[in-house]
Amino acid sequence: MIAAALMMLQLSAAPAETASVERTLDAMHAAASVADGEAYFATFTSDARFIGTDAGERWSLPEFRAYATPYFSQGRGWTYRPTARTVTIAPIDCRCIAWFDEVLDNDAYGTTRGSGVLRLTDHGWKIEQYVLSFAVPNDKARAVVDAIKAD
């Protein structure tokens, strides 16, 4: 009986926890869209990683900041609009790890995907790892792979 009550309490807390994670992700996207580097990088942990669409893009936060700052300082950001998102809070006692995947819309690239991990810190949810990828339709995958192999 007590175990069932505790499980119900955990389940009822999930939407508020999920909403808090989503606010962090939305803040990250909003800051990038207006080229607000300070707000953008504040959504990440100090030891975060950003994994971009190119196989060579695995940046530590300082490396990614060095890459992005010149763009942000010119008022040039990037806009990815979430159209769908799934957030899962790890079922561990601390309720301090979350992972997500999201479908994004971008004017230049069309449909893309973001995924990653967040950690609950003393300053709220922070992005520990973000992975941006292109969503390649299965019927176009062979052509994309062939184009990459040709390079």
Report the pLDDT value the prediction gives residue 137, as an integer from 0 to 100: 86
> Helical H runs in 34-60?
37-41
| Cα 21 from Cα 125, distance rounded (Å) | 6
Report the pLDDT value the prediction gives residue 140, as an integer from 0 to 100: 86
Residue 16 is which amino acid? A
Report the pLDDT value the prediction gives residue 95, as an integer from 0 to 100: 94
Report the pLDDT value the prediction gives residue 11, as an integer from 0 to 100: 43
Mean pLDDT by 10 residues, the chain (151 residues): 44 73 98 98 98 95 97 97 97 96 96 98 97 91 86 82
Report the pLDDT value the prediction gives residue 14, as an integer from 0 to 100: 66
List the beta bridge partners of residue 65.
none
Beta strands in 26-80, from DSSP E residues, in sequence order: 44-51, 58-60
Report the predicted TM-score, pTM, of the whole model to 2 decimal places: 0.86
Tokens of 74: 């010119």
